[in-house]
Amino acid sequence: MLGFFKTKKKNESINTRSGQPSNVGEYHTTNCISSMYPVLEVPEITFKDLKGMQELKVQIVDACKTITSEWKAGSMGKNGILLYGEPGNGKTAFGLAIAGSYKLPFFEIKAANITSQWVGETARSIKESFDFVKRNAPCVLMLDEIDSLITELDKNSNKDQRDIRNTLLTELVDIRSFDVFIIGATNYFDKLSAAAVREGRFDFKIEVKSPDLEARSSIIRQTIDCAIDDDLLKIVAKRYSGFSVKRIISIADEARRIAAGEELKISHFTNALRKIQGSHGNALRDVLGLDDLIFNESLRSDIDDLVMELSAVDDLLLQKSQPFKGALFVGPAGTGKTALAKAIAKETNWAFLDVSAPDILADFSLMEETYKKAKDLRPCVIFIDEATDLLKDRTISNYATHTNKLLTLIEGYGEEIPDVVFMAATNHGDDVDEAMARRFYRRINFELPDLHTRKKLITSWSKKNKAAEVAVLRAADVLSVMSEGMSAANINNWLDTEYKKAILEGLRRKQQPDFSTVFK
């Protein structure tokens, strides 16, 4: 998790308190943290060792300056820094950097380590742990997984849960009389009790986002611990936008392992990412492949271009080019838009997630959840079905707010997320919003199948229904003419219906079905 950091030189000095016995005192609860810290240790990491994340560092440093100025004034002023954000982004590392920068001992209370199965024991452990920290001030106290201790309570909460919460809240106020940096860390800010995070307990609330480009570059370089081409490092670091520190370390470490001493190449990182990701979103194993789909020949070139781009992302990036970000599939219902999106993802080995636009319009958080999942599954295709109203020109739309939100999301909320491609399907492409059309600039216009394509669809159907194959193939030319104006889906439904009709008629007559009577 300390992947942003440079290694401290051995001859650099640290605080003289390091290695000194801690003020253990007499503590009776088995989970008091005193047993974890028999001697005082100052972390070797400081803010100077952190790479990137400049805005975040400024926020934390400014908060620390305010707190220390209150100490010097002898007042019980502001204190309490709450670091929140998605897991794996180094909240604990920043707590260590505070201690290292101020040359102070570092203590950590983890909910998992301090809780007890015995009634009253957890509250006592909290009280004794805080007392131990006060005896060793000035210092830094980090409360990890704090949401496990001070979530909102309800009518079903028992007395022990209330005692734990109230004890911690009381201690957070009392400890302000001591020179102790209070650092809280949580992955679930919205679960915290409002009383717990109010001013007077945590005066500074700072979001720890995923590492920026400079930080990602530093993490990768340190993790691989070998030479890497500067251009390749830039490509890979940019590509991992939105990944956590932990994820980047895992990918870089796996890439180094795959390279096995050879010069690192982009393929090593791509293969490492696929291995680390594991999941491919919605299962595509039983989905028809591109070779199994039947379209008018006029579409084939456009389809091949999309597949080529997604298959050649590594080569495009090496040539300082980018694959398309969005593709719009326009055409009548039943012409294979959804099937094509799935087949492209399957062919190119991209993960696939789909979501319905009517569901998004009912609750936009569904789109946000899908996008969040796609970032973790990269490379990933997000397919938005029935997208007419969501993509509609905002000047005439009843859902302009939702369209604005989707535009913002596609842009990555400030930093574009690579390797996430959007595909959307609509039956009407004439009134697509201009800004949306720019995002979904690759467009495929689906048409109803022509005579040649209809015959191929009918022939394909017959091969899957062997009992009727001879009759269908004999009548294929006639059936191809009869099905004019039908979509591919409707042709299959029509043939299925006639097939079933012949079977039922045979059962009625207690005879083998005569398919020549329906396919003629």
Q: In this structure, what CATH number is given to the domain that contains residue 231?
A: 1.10.8.60
**DSSP H or E segment with residue 134:** helix 121-135
Check residue 334 and give left, alpha or beta (phi > 0: left; psi -120 to 50: alpha): left
Structure tokens at 17: 């308190």
Give the domain range for residue 226.
213-277
Are both 329 and 458 inside the same structural domain? no
Strand partners, 21: 39
Are both 100 and 201 inside the same structural domain? yes
Laid out side by side, the sheet with 81-84 consists of: 106-110, 139-144, 180-186, 81-84, 204-207
Q: Is residue 48 part of a domain?
A: no
pLDDT tens per residue across span 77-116: 788 999 999 999 999 999 999 999 999 999 999 877 777 7
Q: What is the mean pLDDT of residues 63-76?
A: 87
Are both 162 and 77 inside the same structural domain? yes
pLDDT tens per residue across span 4-39: 433 333 333 333 455 566 665 666 667 778 878 888
Are both 150 and 179 inside the same structural domain? yes
**DSSP H or E segment with residue 37:** none
Last residue of one domain, picked from the residues 411, 445, 479? 445
CB-based burial label for 150 (10 Å; 0-12, 13-18, 19+): buried
Q: Is residue 400 part of a domain?
A: yes
Are both 295 and 408 inside the same structural domain? yes
pLDDT tens per residue across span 114-138: 777 677 778 888 888 899 999 999 9
Are both 95 and 203 inside the same structural domain? yes
Question: Is the CB of residue 167 less than 8 Å from the CB of residue 123?
Answer: yes
Q: Which of 192-201, 275-284, 404-413 has the highest mean pLDDT?
A: 404-413
Q: Is residue 16 part of a domain?
A: no
What percentage of the chain carries pLDDT values higher than 70? 91
Q: Is residue 147 part of a domain?
A: yes
Question: Is the CB of residue 433 less than 8 Å from the CB of residue 394?
Answer: yes
Structure tokens at 182: 């209070």
pLDDT tens per residue across span 209-242: 999 999 999 999 999 988 899 999 999 999 999 8
Total of domains in the chain: 4
Read off the pTM: 0.79
Last residue of one domain, picked from the residues 412, 445, 478? 445
Are both 114 and 185 inside the same structural domain? yes
Is 360 a residue whose pLDDT tops 60? yes
Residue 154 banded pLDDT, cuts 50, 70, 90: low
Q: Is residue 31 part of a domain?
A: no
Are both 91 and 199 inside the same structural domain? yes
Are both 269 and 358 inside the same structural domain? no
- Of 171, 176, 177, the closest CA to residue 196 belongs to 171
C-alpha 94/C-alpha 183 separation (Å) is 9
Dihedrals phi, psi of 423, to nearest 5 degrees:
-125, 140
Are both 298 and 439 inside the same structural domain? yes
The DSSP annotation for 88-102 comes to TS-HHHHHHHHHHHT
Are both 378 and 471 inside the same structural domain? no
Which of the residue ranges 152-156, 287-291, 405-409, 444-448 would you say has the lowest mean pLDDT?
152-156
Residue with tokens 């899957």: 464
C-alpha 100/C-alpha 211 separation (Å) is 21
Q: Would you give the end-to-end CA distance of the chain in angstroms?
A: 70
